[in-house]
Amino acid sequence: MIKFVSNSIEDTENFAKELAKKITPPETILLFGELGAGKTAFTRGFLDGLNYAGRVSSPTFAIMNQYNVKDFTVNHFDLYRIESGEELYEIGFDDFLDGNYINIIEWPDNFLDFMPKDPIVVKLEKTGENTRQIEVEGI
């Protein structure tokens, strides 16, 4: 397990940027953390580590954003508004679990049975206004 204390959004982004250099597709990363814990900041840093230069935003309303990097795609899911496994299948979620992708999934809590085996798990915990405890398992 990797543990890291982040004292700022920039720390979180830089940590994720370095982590991205160790991960290749196919892979799934599950992001756990309360609202405002830094899940999207983590994703922004991760994509920066893959040399993605475009804008990175939370897919809260879109459900999924796709980012083309190198010779593969990063799919960034936000399952906060998804209410059932049936709804997951309706949006084609399972189509993205196989293939040359890195899937980053926010709010996977209610859908762990639908996730691939042995994902990378990232837990972001707010420990202060700007500080976060980040734990990574599965690398």
33-74 pLDDT per residue, tens: 999 899 999 999 999 999 999 999 888 778 999 999 989 999
Q: Residue 138, by phi and psi: left (phi above 0), alpha (psi -120 to 50) or beta?
A: left
- pLDDT of 82 reads 93
Judge whether residue 84 has pLDDT over 90.
yes
Position 106 pLDDT exceeds 90: yes
Query: Yes or no: is domain 2-137 CATH 3.40.50.300?
Result: yes
pLDDT of residue 70: 83
Q: Compute the mean pLDDT over every residue in the chain, rounded to the nearest whole number.
A: 94
Question: Do residues 67 and 85 lie in contact, with contact meaning Cβ atoms separated by under 8 Å?
Answer: no
Write down the pTM of the prediction: 0.94
